[in-house]
Amino acid sequence: MLRLCLPLCLALPIAASAQQDRQWTLTVDPQTRSAAVGFGTPQSDDVVIGLSCAYGGGDVMFVDGLFSVITGPFQNRDPVPVRWETEIGSAVESGDVLVSEEGFGGVEMRFELGAILMSQLASAPDLSIGLREPFGIPPTLVDLRPNQGVVQDFIDTCAGFLTDAPQGETPALVADVGPGISGHDWQRITDIAEGDPFATVLNVVYGVPETDDVLAFGRCVIGAQGPLVTLQMSADIQGLSDDQNATLRVTSGTGQVVEIPGVVVGSQAEFGVSGIEMVLEVSDPAWLALATDPLVQVQRVGSDVGLTLTGNGPNILAPFLADCANIGDLTPESGSRPITPDNPEPGFLSCENQLRAASRDTGEVVTLTFTNATDGFRALLWFDADGTPIDLGALNPGESGAFTTDTGHVWMATDGPGNCREMIRPQSGQSAYRLTIPG
């Protein structure tokens, strides 16, 4: 995990023993637009929590956190599920183990400045933090109150780095194109040649239907090691020539960022995509940013010009990727099934998204009431940051249940045997969702 605080990292050796006079201490470097706050004993190596931020461009501020709260037989950089809990809330986050030469253990996590955990560190009296099962390591309870006000100062300082960034350095994630703006939307083009996967056509297009106005084009191909997707995405390539190396930065509406290497295409083209072509496996983590949010910003690294796409991306790209992964087993009926119901509820996602679903805190909390409007049992599962579904309840026909969640969180409703029936990502301001998919 890359740490943002290179100019101003706290020295964070893992504490060997508890201290009674721990408190929060803040350090700020305005020149590098970076800040760090630590909870530990002043003027000592006893630091149990360390947080740092540094502005690195873009419109999302991330915090790197180090928590020296675990022990066990781990290797350095092992991924682990971290569960934290306060009197106000709890969640499971993904982290990486850090093991010092002295043998003490800690875990490093990255989260957005507006994440729920960040606000809890600034307001909750204490924090219980440890590893989720099956590790069986008891949590550590940390009293957060001594000098706790500086945590909010840290939050305000980091937020100020975004506000004070030079003009043009933080492009807003505002839709430039989309169904209600320019007529662009995602579409599938499918033609199954049964028994001959090499003749099968599986394409996706982001463009204005029945025109040559295309901003993205993806095609499923069969490579030596299995199915691949060649994806061309419109980008600023001024001054570049075809086949030059270029990298596309993708930012989802929930703040997931990925950089994908590729080559320039269409530098002289009058039709088709002018931008960057990339080759991705259907399981590539880059799809987490590309295919799981209706709002996606794309920008060539090195250019200050970007493009923000909206539309039905998750419910088009997820079935496309599922079909591509199974291209050798498709029948002529594949790809012709409805992708979404006729009148989908706000926040509806097709079940094909479960292959790459993961929750991410955006800081926009909503209370969502699920109502089972079907004639069958429905279990409700929430995906953690690692994409692991966690059973949080069940609804019989006609029953309702309310949950505090986030607009970056992903839910799944399953039937009695455990089959996915529909998936949900809450929308801004949404308070209710009716489960309607039969089966």
d(C-alpha 288, C-alpha 383), whole Å: 13
Q: Averaged over 318-332, what is the pLDDT?
A: 82
pLDDT (tens digit per residue) in 79-96: 777 778 887 667 777 777
What's the pLDDT at 364? 81
pLDDT (tens digit per residue) in 20-64: 688 999 888 777 678 889 888 887 777 888 888 865 555 567 788
CB atoms within 10 A of CB 3: 14
Q: Averaged over 179-206, what is the pLDDT?
A: 86
What's the pLDDT at 40? 86
41: which 2 tokens? Answer: 């004993």
- Res. 175 pLDDT band, cuts 50 70 90: low
- Res. 170 pLDDT band, cuts 50 70 90: very low
8 Å CB contact between 286 and 258: yes
Segment holding 1, helix H or strand E: none
8 Å CB contact between 48 and 69: yes
| Complete edge-to-edge strand list for the sheet that includes strand 140-143 | 23-29, 34-40, 47-54, 62-70, 105-112, 90-99, 79-85, 126-131, 140-143
8 Å CB contact between 142 and 39: yes
Q: Is the pLDDT of residue 248 over 50?
A: yes
Q: Is the pLDDT of residue 346 over 80?
A: yes
Type of residue numbered 53: C
Mean pLDDT of the chain: 79
**What global pTM score does this model have?**
0.53
- Res. 109 pLDDT band, cuts 50 70 90: confident
What's the pLDDT at 230? 93
Q: Averaged over 260-277, what is the pLDDT?
A: 88
Type of residue numbered 416: G
Of the two residues 140 and 146, the one the predictor is more confident about is 146
Domains recognised in the chain with CATH numbers: 23-163 (2.60.40), 185-329 (no CATH), 348-435 (2.60.40.780)
pLDDT (tens digit per residue) in 26-38: 888 777 678 889 8
- CA end-to-end distance (rounded Å), the chain: 42
What's the pLDDT at 101? 53
